[in-house]
Structures are given as C-alpha cells and as structure tokens.
C-alpha cells in the first residue's frame, strides 16, 4: 500500500519544493510569507543562530511563528534511527 504524506499532496497540487540553506532560504521564506503563503522550515542544526534566522524572517514579514521541537531522549536509539533512516516521500524529487 502506498503511503502518502503532506509533501506528496503538495507535489500533486503543483507546489514547487525547494531545498535551500542559509541566507537564500531565509530570504525566500521571508518573501513567501510577505505574499501570504505558509512556510514550513525544518532546522535540525543545534546552533540557535539558525533557528533565530527563521524567526527573524517571520518577524520582518510581520507574521507569527509556530515552533515544534522533537527530541529522542535515548542517544543510542537516536544514532540507530539516524543511521537507518530512509526517504519515504513518494513523489518528491530529491536533490541530485
């Protein structure tokens, strides 16, 4: 049975998925927010400066931010999951 994710629905609807990092990502997010669009940004980097930059982009666009932090409390399990993960978004093209 196929598994569908939000990303699959977005791709089916014609959304363009863009993977960007750093300054380009923050600027792109800010522009999208200024146009009234929703931005979902995943930040797995531990330095606060990376998360702060997403918040600052939203503040400049005068929109709110919702943050969700998910942590695995077991370091051994975390390493196992990271080492064995696979991509399961069916129709989202991945960077080459």
> What's the pLDDT tens digit per position in 3-59?
445 556 556 666 555 555 678 888 988 999 999 998 888 777 677 888 899 899 999
Whether 90 maps to a domain, the answer reads no
Using one digit for the tens of pLDDT, what is the confidence trace for 52-92? 998 999 999 999 999 888 888 999 998 887 777 666 666 65
Which residues neighbour 29 within 8 Å (Cβ) at sequence distance 6 or greater?
39, 41, 54, 57, 58
**95 belongs to a structural domain:** no
Can you give the residue range of the structural domain that contains 12? 6-84
Residue 37 maps to a domain: yes
Residue 96 lies in a domain: no
In a domain, 89, yes or no: no
Domain count for the chain: 1
The answer to whether residue 67 is domain-embedded is: yes
Which SS3 state, helix, strand or coil, does residue 22 take?
Answer: helix
Q: Is residue 45 part of a domain?
A: yes
């Amino acid at each position: 049975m196929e598994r569908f994710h939000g990303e699959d629905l977005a791709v089916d609807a014609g959304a363009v998925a863009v993977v960007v990092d750093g300054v380009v990502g923050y600027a792109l997010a800010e522009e999208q927010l200024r146009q009234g669009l929703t931005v979902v940004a995943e930040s797995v980097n531990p330095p606060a400066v990376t998360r702060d930059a997403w918040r600052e982009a939203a503040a400049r666009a005068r929109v709110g931010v919702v943050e969700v932090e998910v942590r695995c409390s077991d370091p051994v399990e975390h390493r196992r999951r990271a080492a064995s993960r696979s991509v399961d978004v069916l129709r989202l093209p991945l960077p080459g």
